[in-house]
Structure 1
């Protein structure tokens, strides 16, 4: 599952292929849409929740509130089912989809909307190989660095002046995330801890010079 972008996306993978998936784009309803999506995917696959043997969740980067919905839900499922919970970079899922579905061979970049007129982004040598850590920047500040490269994701579509060669998909799919995770696990690679990749502080912060009042 992934809720790091406006897409609320869930998929079920049997180790060989995706057997059911769901995706809805709504930046304001992650908490409302995620669990019904899980129910739909399980129903489509004809299995119960207790058949799940592991959980993979997108760790972002992404805005604080939406990202937390997926991570907390994944942790809850992991605890309730006593199964491992793995993290995977959301940008990696987009890059993998661009290679599998969009035919991009690389090099290229991925950019998602970070709000505040910024993007979360990373460069890729190919659909499976990220060449650096994810970052958050204003599009104009990285336009020269990414000049000549295709840029995948909603962040590219939002800023065509900075990213003239915008490519799809715009949003991550749990199907691609699950397929990439299954491929890495089968190869014996370790996935990330299911911890949020924020890259910046949340919008809501304690005001400076805040005084704590305690009863005497």
Structure 2
């Protein structure tokens, strides 16, 4: 099964092509090509990056069997780019699209009894999720770095610029960005695809403008 993996929930634009072999046994996954790029231009870079990854692997859109996309947590604009593009690809190609929690994808890359994954939520907050023996036991949630209700883990995955803001004790501090193989491992490729559900965790920054009072110079509708 040839799977296109996409994630736009973090500062990294993640695109990759993963061959799961003749079935969906993830133990046989092979990453044929990938791109993990730190950028703010997810919208402009996503489709050209998918094109480049397919070309590097010597494959075309018609070769794809499924798509996996990270559904956050992440910012409204970033998630919309990846999820809308994945949905459009899936509809155009007639193949299933599977959504996964982005933090779940990162956790599959870490072999530890307990892990905490944290990413930048801006506004002096972080998105976080806690894992024990590979299973998510709390989160994803959003809060201030010092307010995460987890005291100690074996591995803390957090971007370097946020590491000293967290009070969680850890034997190892690293940053496991979501990668194509992690996204595919986090997906249940044997299940039927379902509607994608974004994990915004808070309201978008954009708000509707407040209605302006009617000018007294305008006649009342009953007067017309």
Query: Which TM-score band applies after superposition, normalised by the shorter structure?
Result: 0.7 to 0.9
How many pairs are equivalent? 200
**Cα root mean square deviation, aligned:** 2.3
* 1:200 equivalent in structure 2: 202
* 1:102 equivalent in structure 2: none
* 2:18 equivalent in structure 1: 13
Counterparts of 1:212 and 1:55, CA distance in 2: 48
Higher RCO structure (Cα 8 Å, ≥6 apart): 1
| Structure 2: stretches of 5+ with no match in the other structure | 1-5, 21-27, 215-220
Task: State the TM-score, normalizing by the size of structure 2.
Answer: 0.81
Counterparts of 1:71 and 1:41, CA distance in 2: 18
Q: Does residue 78 of structure 2 align to residue 73 of structure 1? A: no
Q: Does residue 160 of structure 2 align to residue 148 of structure 1? A: no
Out of 64, 67, 90, which is 1:52 matched to? 64
Report how far residue 57 of structure 1 moved: 0.3
User: Using a 3 Å threshold, how does the CA distance of structure 1 residues 13 and 22 change in structure 2: closer, same or farther?
Assistant: same
Counterparts of 1:167 and 1:193, CA distance in 2: 35
Tell me the secondary structure at the aligned position of residue 108 of structure 2: helix
C-alpha contact (below 8 Å) 1:10/1:175 kept by paired residues = no
Counterparts of 1:90 and 1:97, CA distance in 2: 12
* 1:111 equivalent in structure 2: 118
User: Using a 3 Å threshold, how does the CA distance of structure 1 residues 5 and 170 change in structure 2: closer, same or farther?
Assistant: same
TM superposition outliers: structure 1 runs of 4+ over 3 Å: 163-166, 188-193
User: Using a 3 Å threshold, how does the CA distance of structure 1 residues 76 and 172 change in structure 2: closer, same or farther?
Assistant: same
User: Using a 3 Å threshold, how does the CA distance of structure 1 residues 13 and 175 change in structure 2: closer, same or farther?
Assistant: same
Out of 177, 182, 185, which is 2:183 matched to? 177
Deviations along 1:139-162, one digit per CA (max 9) or x if unpaired, are 1112xx3222232132x7514142
Counterparts of 1:40 and 1:212, CA distance in 2: 52
Task: State the TM-score, normalizing by the size of structure 1.
Answer: 0.83
C-alpha contact (below 8 Å) 2:97/2:193 kept by paired residues = no
Report how far residue 51 of structure 1 moved: 0.6
Q: Does residue 134 of structure 2 align to residue 134 of structure 1? A: no
Counterparts of 1:152 and 1:29, CA distance in 2: 24
